[in-house]
Amino acid sequence: MHDPRVLLDPATDAVRKLARRGHALDVASLEKLLAARNSAIQRGDEARAESKRVATAVKGAAPEEREALVARARELKGVVSAAEEEHRTAEAELQDLLLGIPNLPADELPDGASDEDAELVRTWGEPQRFDFTPLDHVDIGEKLGILDLPRATKLAGPRFAVLRGKGAALERAIARYLLDLHTQHHGYTEFSVPTLVNRVTMTGTGQLPKFEQDLFKTGVGDRELFLIPTAEVPLTNLHAKETLDLEQLPLAYTAHTPCFRSEAGSYGRDTRGLIRLHEFSKVELVRIVDAERSREELEVLLGHAEAAMQGLGLAYRVVKLAAGDIGFSAEFTYDIEVWLPGQDAYREISSVSDFGTFQARRAGIRTKAKDGRRGFAATLNGSGLPIGRTLVAVLEQGQQADGSVRLPEALVPYAGFEELTPA
């Protein structure tokens, strides 16, 4: 969320920056609501100050003066009450407006609004060239007997998956490998967190109110709860409404959780297989850092996600997303795109984003330095990695001419087998 004064400061250039991501800043409404809020605060403060003076005057006033002073005190009480009500109304309307304004994209991002406008940063590994026609992961999984989409549809409808036997074991192996990598080598603390959270928590990281249609909502009694779309939500909000010692940052957190997304508006895209499901699992990485070091920390986080890819020997590339293609809360995003031979294309497997202080302002994650300086933390998150899409890449990049799939060496100790063979 933004400080409205910063948005209206010409030096911020908010109108131009937001226009790069397709958002038209309603400057007139912002100015009107900010003025109304400030006016109500000023009137209330002035009335309280006068009320104190009148209360003091009443004590020493002559009887003929006291009645007028008491009447004025009653009048001022009404003025204060009215000003407070106006303040609450203007503040609520201002907050509603601010909650719908996305983060300002970094100037370094390229122009554009689609993945075609992304800027290539680097590639790693050589895309395989097979002496046979490579299959996609659905055909591979069905021939191996590890993927059963028809029964998943019977259980829950489209965009769900059932993995069986060694497929389920491979899914578990990938998660264990990723957690061990990030906790033992990259310094992340592992958490087990709720997958149902409240509205305040969802609002803190920017999923609400704008993207309520993309979320699964439920409840317990009169409690409204949402299924998390990513562990970023609970991990970041662990420190909501807290003040952190600046010198103790960065904090590095990870969790392996199920994730739930309605994928509203995406029907017709990636409906085949494991690429875009309503329910999937992911190892998420979250860093809470000194705001002055957020861009440096983004490179650190990107390196950790890339290390996971390299450890699995998966060919990929890194791209810098265009300003109009980054998420609502992000100011800068890298995508890691894995090579999928079955599609003859690179496909996104991880997004790594710097949110600046945007989420911290919404969630109330403040910092305090030893010298007394106060501010807001910066938050970052990235997929490190999604289990389903990683499994897709392992199947497609590891496929062999005889229909088997050779596993990356890093997964063998976790899976307990070196290859998958046709059922």
Residues involved in catalysis? 261, 276, 348, 351, 389
Which residues carry a binding-site annotation?
230-232, 261-263, 284, 348-351, 383
d(CA 274, CA 278): 10
User: Which pairs count as long-range contacts for 23-26, CB under 8 Å and 24+ apart, including other chains?
Assistant: 23/101, 23/102, 25/101, 26/97
The phi, psi pair for 279, rounded to 5°, reads: -130, 130
Selection from 388, 399, 338, 309 nearest residue 127 by Cα: 338
Residues in the chain: 423
Residue 361 carries which side chain, given as an amino acid letter? R
**Alpha carbon distance, N-terminus to C-terminus of the chain:** 52
Q: Please state, in angstroms and rounded to a whole number, the distance separating the CA atoms of residues 333 and 363.
A: 21
Question: Which residues lie closer than 8 Å to 54 by C-beta, 6 or more apart?
Answer: 69, 72, 73, 76
Q: Report the C-alpha gap between 140 and 137 in whole angstroms.
A: 5
Annotated binding site for L-serine: 230-232, 284, 383
Residues of each annotated binding site for ATP: 261-263, 348-351
What tokens does 421 get? 């063979």
